[in-house]
Homo-oligomer: A and B are copies of this chain.
Amino acid sequence: MGVQIFLLDFSHTYDLIGRMIDTKQRILDAAEKLFGEKGYDSTSLRQIISEAKVNLAAIHYHFGSKQELLDQVIIRKAGPMNERRLKLLDRFEAESAPESAALEKIVVAFVLPAILVEKSPGFVKLMGRVHAEGLMPEIARRNFQPMIARFLSALHRALPDSSQKELIWKAHFALGAMSIALTASPDVDPETAAESPTNLANRLVAFISSGFRAPATLD
């Protein structure tokens, strides 16, 4: 393998060492940056190849389609994010054993990793867009479902009086609240712009936890 790279370095097709073997990463990096900045459909593959300095067809060789490229961009980031969520949840549950973890802790474990990953260029902003563009179905099932199931069972232990259906609906509401918090853009409302990740997480946790403790309906 090292030999191949060495040989290719002397051909006219490749002007820099390594350019060939990191093509996939270069595409992913460029795609993540541009998707996050301008949205999925406003970003053309030709803009991505220009940023990544690769050939157009290389995208279809490595990913097959623009949609599949988006999936891979998300999976690359979502994997570590969901792992952090589960790690945090494990820790909180271990700390409170044999009691179940406090509701607030569970919510923190879910919310915080998502807010922190936002530091990378526009990833969660992208997630929010993706969610509402209806591009989620397959990607969600494969990469988020196990994590979601784990959190639902933790919630069920923390709130034993709530039915499964109630918890699923509230989890939806919580996801919506978080999603909008991460996508809130400075231009819509200047006052919401300058909020530190920690403050935002605190606001979210307070709001969501209280919602989970509310009765299912008021009737």
In angstroms, Cα B218 to Cα A104, docked, is 9
**Which of A173, A175, A215, A217: most chain B CB closer than 10 A?**
A173
Write the A147-184 contact mask toward B (1 if CB under 8 angstroms, else 0). Answer: 00000000000000000111011101111111111011
State the oligomeric state as a number of copies: 2
**A contact patch SS:** helix
List chain B residues, Cβ under 8 A from A174. 177
Interface segment out of the listed A2-10, A46-54, A112-120, A133-141: A133-141
List chain B residues, Cβ under 8 A from A214. 206-207, 209-211
In angstroms, Cα B219 to Cα A209, docked, is 13
28 CB < 8 A contacts A-B: A39-B133, A41-B41, A129-B133, A130-B132, A131-B132, A131-B180, A132-B179, A136-B188, A137-B185, A137-B187, A168-B189, A168-B191, A168-B192, A169-B181, A169-B207, A170-B203, A172-B180, A172-B184, A173-B180, A173-B203, A173-B207, A176-B176, A176-B180, A202-B218, A202-B219, A206-B214, A210-B214, A211-B211
